[in-house]
Structure 1
Amino acid sequence: MIVALLNQKGGVGKTTLALHLAGQWARQGQRIPLIDADPQGSSLDWSQQRSREGVPRLFGVVGLARDTLHREGSELARDADHIVIDGPPRVAGLMRSALLAADLVLIPVQPSPFDGWASAEMLALIREARIYRPALLVRFVLNRCGARTVIARETARTLADHDPPVLASTVGQRTAFAAAAQSGRLVFERDDAGPATREIAALTAEINGLDLGRPAR
């Protein structure tokens, strides 16, 4: 399965989720390359920091910020159980290539007015990709949210019947993610029983349960 985390809006936690999804699969014994398709190279920076800290590698990170991603990614898929793509913000050619490469697209969003997330441009790119990839699955992921806040509850209700729909698993606004990233680590390496670790495990389990063979929605 090739999973691409995409959002044209920056600052929604796309890289954090990509790294932790890859890490969760890797700790379960899966072979996982992560493709950093963002010209800013945040996932590559994280990987280099991990190396400087002398922390053993969990998964490989490959820089591939070009619009041939859908062709080159298929080569990596031959020796992998899953591939995670940390996608670019607002780079149409790269975005199209990532959409063509993916089996599942996750769109991280934060609790905020809905019109700020589901831009017509992003949804248009998804519709365009489905001409070539009709089985492409797309899901919103509520990230950096307080589960008990009014806006988070309203957001979840708004997205419940939306197309694309939202995953049931949410990830909170937690300092644990930033603290782990500073040393090139993931949250489960610092606190294996903490709430951030539990949220990532639940998100990964829900993704594992998606039926990629059913008609796209």
Structure 2
Amino acid sequence: MPSIFAVANPKGGSGKTTVAIILAGEFARHGYSAAIIDADPQGSSYQWHASSVARGVSPDGIDLVRAPDANALAQAIERLDAYDVVVIDTPGYYGEALIQSALRADLVVLPCKAHTFDASQVVRTIRNLERHAAESNLPMSQHRVLLNEYDSLDRNTRPLREVLAYFNAEGVPVCANTLYRRVTYRSMTSGYGTLYQMNDKDESIRKARYNADQVVRELLAASQGAKTDGAAA
């Protein structure tokens, strides 16, 4: 069975596709067989993959499958059983595909910008997923909020403190590492393969790789902890 990561946030512009590509790229770099299921009708992951192939930088070690609805999503997960890692780029709205992705995931990653409105949307999503898990008599999947498009200028500001205090009060786990706002990430998602297919002589790319590596290491540890907890139960 693959490790399943569902990248979820019904709010548009949260950076789901960027996070999904970075996750898959990091695992592929370490030799794991990885696949992305693009369950978002906008097809951003698919466009990234197709554009990369067209430019001659086919994403190393990453396959991509489209899943336009919940039934196709379930079938795709079953077909990809032999992969080491499956990353689901969920739809940008709350619906059956997002719910099924989250309930089947070892870890739900919720990208969120450091703003109170975005944070409230994430908490609402988590509460809805908890309700659906209870109704299905299933445990709520492990989850982590990942602050995305983080700027060093955000550090120690009042808005950031308010967001972190809000998540803490709601009992929502937040990653210690953040994904910074970087031009490199935008370039990558425009169809230039993974971070590891970009020119490593560029310092900005090396910094992006280091940032991505730290984030994915933390998410992997969280997912492995979830599997250990499940086995113990």
TM-score, scaled relative to structure 2: 0.83
1:30 partner SS: coil
Using the TM superposition, give the Cα deviation of residue 77 of structure 1 relative to its aligned residue in structure 2, in angstroms: 4.0
Match of 1:176 in 2: 184
Using the TM superposition, give the Cα deviation of residue 54 of structure 1 relative to its aligned residue in structure 2, in angstroms: 0.9
Summarize deviations over 1:135-174 as a string: whole Å, max 9, x none: 5111111000114421335433443464331111100111
1:163 partner SS: coil
2:109 partner SS: strand
The partner residue of 1:96 within 95, 99, 116 is: 99
Using the TM superposition, give the Cα deviation of residue 175 of structure 1 relative to its aligned residue in structure 2, in angstroms: 1.0
Match of 1:140 in 2: 145
- Relative to structure 1, the CA distance from residue 153 to residue 172 in structure 2 (aligned partners, 3 Å threshold; closer, same or farther) is farther
| Aligned equivalents of 1:65, 1:195: Cα separation in 2 | 35
Matches within 5 A, 1:42-53: 42-53=44-55
| Aligned equivalents of 1:61, 1:102: Cα separation in 2 | 18
The partner residue of 1:166 within 157, 174, 193 is: 174
2:173 partner SS: coil
- Relative to structure 1, the CA distance from residue 189 to residue 109 in structure 2 (aligned partners, 3 Å threshold; closer, same or farther) is same
Structure with the higher fraction of residues in helix conformation: 2
What is the one-letter code of the residue matched to 1:30?
A: Y
CA root-mean-square deviation? 2.2
Aligned length: 215
**Which aligned segments of 4 or more residues in structure 1 are displaced greater than 6 angstroms?**
none
Match of 1:36 in 2: 38
Matches within 5 A, 1:49-60: 49-58=51-60, 59-60=62-63
| Aligned equivalents of 2:165, 2:120: Cα separation in 1 | 16
Match of 1:84 in 2: 87
**CA contact 2:129–2:140 (8 Å) conserved in 1:** no
1:168 partner SS: coil
Match of 1:8 in 2: 10
| Aligned equivalents of 1:50, 1:106: Cα separation in 2 | 24
**CA contact 1:69–1:97 (8 Å) conserved in 2:** no
**CA contact 2:9–2:122 (8 Å) conserved in 1:** no
TM-score, scaled relative to structure 1: 0.88
Summarize deviations over 1:58-79 as a string: whole Å, max 9, x none: 2001001211256324413421
| Aligned equivalents of 2:208, 2:23: Cα separation in 1 | 12
Using the TM superposition, give the Cα deviation of residue 132 of structure 1 relative to its aligned residue in structure 2, in angstroms: 3.8
Match of 2:130 in 1: 126
Q: Structure 2: which 5+ runs fail to align? A: none
